[in-house]
Structure 1
Amino acid sequence: MAEQSRPGENWSAIELDAIIADYFGMLGDELAKRPYVKTHHRLALMHMTGRSAASIEFKHRNISAVLQELGLPWIWGYKPAPNYQDALVDAVDRYLSGHREIVEEQPVLMPAAPKISDDTFTDVPVRTSRPRRPTFERLVRKFDPVERDFRNRRLGRAGEEFVVKVEHQRLIAEDRSDLANRVRWVAMEDGDGAGFDVRSFDRDGRERLIEVKTTNGAAHTPFFMTRNELEVAEERSDHWYLYRVYIFAQQPKIFTVRPPLGSVLQLNPETWRAEPAA
């Protein structure tokens, strides 16, 4: 996108640091449900940098694209625009390295009474394959979204609780309040290890064993699965469901996957179980 006031001139590191800090200020307000006015922020940046409104808007969308790839929340009104330069990746790295709490302390806020709407359940996303540049690959390894979500037990538990409520409402909407009252949060009541987190039902009373995976990132954010989960999915394939909960902190949505998982998901072994050889 061409500059109106400084055409063709790349953003300096100082300018990038300023717009990224301002972006995260707005994002913090959005996640905390505090009101803010984007126009005020944009005008301040225009005054500070001499850039046009269109240029600043597009840079905000570039930042959203980087955060989306990192499996982090982004400002809802700034649709990710992936055509960004390495200098922006470096600037995001600088900011996150100095504010690790943004990555490590992901918000787990959830609607008190989530409502099922027509777009709560979505299709499995189709990932467009774009080669990543080395600069961005290093950033992803440094702030690995898969490992981060896996370690965040509060986020995982909140996602499971959300699914329990969604299942309860789904069954009531299907005129099966008798089954809704039998939905169990297995992972909370019995502990992990069952190979699924929530026991629910189809409308006809058929058991639905749901493994929940939650992220604040986009639908295509990768996630870990354990060997036990994969084995239970195979052994109880007629009843097992994966519920992938995404953009959880902002507008939670779910896509579902049924076995055989390999027909829908790309399963890549990434860890080794190690013990002394002798």
Structure 2
Amino acid sequence: MAGKPTDWSETEVAATVRSYLDMLRLEVSGQPYNKSRYRKVLLPLLSNRSESAIEFKHQNISAVLMKLGLRPIRGYQPAQNYQQSLVPEVQRQLALSPSLIELVLAEALQAPKASPTGKLDFTSASIPSIILPEASKWTSAQTGRPDYAAIEASNRALGLAGELVVADLEYRRLVKAGKAHLARRIDHVSQSRGDGDGYDILSFEESGKEKLIEVKTTRSRAETPFFVTVNELKVSRAHSDVYHLVRVFSFGHDPAWFRLRGSLDASCVLESNGFMALPRPA
């Protein structure tokens, strides 16, 4: 019978974190890399570990990076059940690589190269699990630490691109349902009237009932926190029967989306500083 798996040694953890951060640097620099090749290079440095064990450890590192206010590698879904020694090692190596942090945060401010109009599927993704950042990380202004979500929230070009693809999705949905007369009435209100309405798009159900849609867009994973304003929260409460928050994620790569209905304090976990939000599990 196989023995119980042992905790990874400091040397193993350090090598695995180094491998992950090397891949992250290549990814944010726009250079190709092969995850399988990186796992194979790691194997001789570890104590009888499998490639699947390495992959799971890399998923652990994804979760740690999100808790520390950065974004993970695409394709490694965050796995939160990790040994505690992983956190200080990730922090140590990040401290030795300030240029990597700068690259990741610079990505959060980049304007999209092109709006992927027509690329959102009609079917929404499932609501993701919550990954809460460290308590001291909710406000980067107070801590001076990196906060990918906060920086990305200020990227108006990215926000507008996300709104355009959701408006396009709504238009295609209504036309497909034989409701072209409703599709023509869709109003991109954040552009036609400004940001004061508490939502970005006025659309319609097939019945003709209004839909007030607020759009939040990220290049990162679905689990990435987003920010809502006091006005958005107020409007979502006052119009909870027609209010929808659409979260667009993986923007510019393989964009997808999920929807939260009703009042934002009912559908999200909100932190009062700002409000930073994460969807409540369904």
Do they fold alike, i.e. is TM over 0.5?
yes
Structure 2: unaligned runs, 5 residues or longer: 276-282
Tell me if the contact between 2:218 and 2:250 (Cα under 8 Å) persists in the aligned partners: yes
Shift of 1:167: 0.9
Shift of 1:60: 2.1
**Equivalence for 2:250:** 247
1:86 aligns with 2:84: no
1:72 aligns with 2:77: no
**Equivalence for 2:278:** none
1:196-245 Cα shifts (integer Å, max 9, x gaps): 11121111122212111122344343322222222222333343322122
Tell me if the contact between 2:242 and 2:262 (Cα under 8 Å) persists in the aligned partners: no
1:165 aligns with 2:168: yes
Give 3-state SS (helix, strand or coil) of 1:182's partner: coil
Residue of 116, 128, 133 corresponding to 1:111: 116
Shift of 1:188: 2.4
Shift of 1:50: 5.5
Give 3-state SS (helix, strand or coil) of 1:62's partner: helix
Identity fraction in percent = 30
Distance 1:16 1:203, change over 3 A: same
Residue of 33, 54, 57 corresponding to 2:55: 57
Give 3-state SS (helix, strand or coil) of 2:271's partner: coil
Give 3-state SS (helix, strand or coil) of 2:211's partner: strand
Tell me if the contact between 1:183 and 1:201 (Cα under 8 Å) persists in the aligned partners: yes
| AA of the residue aligned to 1:24 | L
Aligned length in residues: 257
Cα distance in structure 1, aligned partners of 2:178 and 2:224: 34
Residue of 269, 272, 278 corresponding to 1:269: 272
Tell me if the contact between 2:174 and 2:182 (Cα under 8 Å) persists in the aligned partners: yes
Shift of 1:12: 6.4
Cα distance in structure 1, aligned partners of 2:26 and 2:243: 40
**Equivalence for 2:210:** 207
Tell me if the contact between 2:233 and 2:263 (Cα under 8 Å) persists in the aligned partners: no
Tell me if the contact between 2:66 and 2:131 (Cα under 8 Å) persists in the aligned partners: no
Cα distance in structure 1, aligned partners of 2:50 and 2:183: 51
**Equivalence for 1:226:** 229
Cα distance in structure 2, aligned partners of 1:95 and 1:190: 47
Give 3-state SS (helix, strand or coil) of 2:214's partner: strand
Cα distance in structure 1, aligned partners of 2:93 and 2:182: 48
1:161-197 Cα shifts (integer Å, max 9, x gaps): 1211111121122221222233222212332222111
Tell me if the contact between 1:68 and 1:217 (Cα under 8 Å) persists in the aligned partners: no
**Equivalence for 2:39:** 42
Distance 1:269 1:160, change over 3 A: same
Tell me if the contact between 1:68 and 1:74 (Cα under 8 Å) persists in the aligned partners: no
Distance 1:43 1:235, change over 3 A: closer
Give 3-state SS (helix, strand or coil) of 2:202's partner: strand
**Equivalence for 2:155:** 152
| AA of the residue aligned to 1:42 | R
Give 3-state SS (helix, strand or coil) of 1:267's partner: strand
Distance 1:38 1:125, change over 3 A: closer
Distance 1:67 1:182, change over 3 A: farther
TM-score between the two structures when normalised by the length of structure 1:
0.74
**Equivalence for 1:27:** 27
Tell me if the contact between 2:64 and 2:87 (Cα under 8 Å) persists in the aligned partners: no
Give 3-state SS (helix, strand or coil) of 1:105's partner: helix
Cα distance in structure 2, aligned partners of 1:238 and 1:187: 20
Cα distance in structure 2, aligned partners of 1:60 and 1:44: 14
Tell me if the contact between 2:247 and 2:257 (Cα under 8 Å) persists in the aligned partners: yes
Tell me if the contact between 1:215 and 1:247 (Cα under 8 Å) persists in the aligned partners: yes
Superposed CA RMSD: 3.4
Shift of 1:128: 7.4
Residue of 173, 186, 199 corresponding to 1:183: 186
Tell me if the contact between 2:153 and 2:226 (Cα under 8 Å) persists in the aligned partners: yes
Distance 1:215 1:105, change over 3 A: same
